[in-house]
């Protein structure tokens, strides 16, 4: 990346989003962290410089998405990089799936990325440079049981990404979706512990026999691996890469 860029990352209080925020900050970006919760690592960034900002955001609300972009532009002048990372999981059979949860999942994981893209795209076009990265999942490509809301939202992100790529391409704006399998985050660690209790086996057995059963490598993905992909897609060397799905799954979908 040439010149300091401003990166807006949603769901960046912890997990993948936090690693992306730290990585882009270390690369010299101004970093805006949008989340319901304040990140505990913010002070370590803000104490060094004024390049890091936390903006409390409820991405299920249109007005919150709009206010978020306006705040970033007010503070730093533009949004050069948008990483739509915020999301959550809900597991339930389709016929029992809560309609309220369904609506919120689509609002946070599909409508919010659309709105944020809509609001940042004019500025990126004007600057003739922009990077939009949507955090998908292997569930952007394949399905599994009892995750209809998550799978629908993640599949939708692929379509949004491709549409954005076509419209942004002539203006130097790229759009890509990253599709990881299980990443070692606090949320996934909680899921492993819960499954261990439910199945009556150890956390290690859940990890190897349940979570990594379809993985060719047999290893959990680390957040730094995903952040490294974001860093590359934000680089000038990736200017011709757009509208693509970047799968990081240890060979899960190769079968």
Two structure tokens written together for 234: 């934000």
28: alpha, beta or left, given left = phi > 0 and alpha = psi -120 to 50?
left
What number of residues does the chain have?
255
Running DSSP on this structure, what letter comes out for residue 92? -
Is 150 marked active-site? yes
Catalytic residue among 41, 54, 119, 150: 150
Q: Phi and psi for 194 in degrees, rounded to 5?
A: -65, -45
Q: Give the residue from 160, 120, 116, 167 showing the smallest Cα distance to 140.
A: 160
The three-state secondary structure class of 173 is strand
Active site residues: 150
């Amino acid at each position: 990346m040439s010149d300091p860029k401003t990166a807006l990352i949603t769901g960046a209080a912890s997990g993948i989003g936090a690693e992306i925020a730290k990585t882009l900050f270390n690369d010299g970006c101004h970093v805006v962290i949008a989340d319901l919760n304040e990140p505990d690592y913010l002070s370590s960034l803000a104490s060094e410089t004024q390049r890091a900002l936390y903006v409390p955001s409820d991405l299920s609300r249109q007005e919150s998405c709009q206010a978020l972009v306006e705040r970033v532009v007010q503070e730093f002048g533009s949004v050069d990089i948008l990483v739509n990372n915020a999301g959550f999981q809900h597991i339930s059979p389709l016929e029992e799936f809560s309609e309220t949860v369904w609506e919120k999942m689509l609002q946070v994981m599909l409508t919010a990325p659309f709105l944020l893209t809509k609001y940042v795209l004019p500025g990126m076009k004007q600057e003739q440079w922009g990077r939009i990265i949507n955090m998908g999942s292997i569930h952007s490509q394949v399905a599994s049981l009892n995750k209809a809301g998550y799978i629908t939202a993640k599949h939708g992100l692929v379509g949004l990404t491709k549409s954005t790529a076509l419209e942004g391409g002539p203006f130097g704006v790229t759009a890509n979706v990253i599709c990881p399998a299980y990443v070692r985050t606090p949320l996934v660690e909680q899921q492993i512990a819960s499954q261990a209790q439910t199945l009556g086996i150890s956390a290690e057995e859940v990890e190897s026999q349940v979570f990594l059963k379809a993985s060719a490598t047999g290893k959990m993905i680390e957040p730094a691996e995903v952040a490294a992909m974001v860093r590359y897609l934000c680089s000038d060397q990736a200017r011709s890469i757009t509208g693509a799905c970047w799968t990081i799954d240890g060979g899960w979908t190769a079968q």
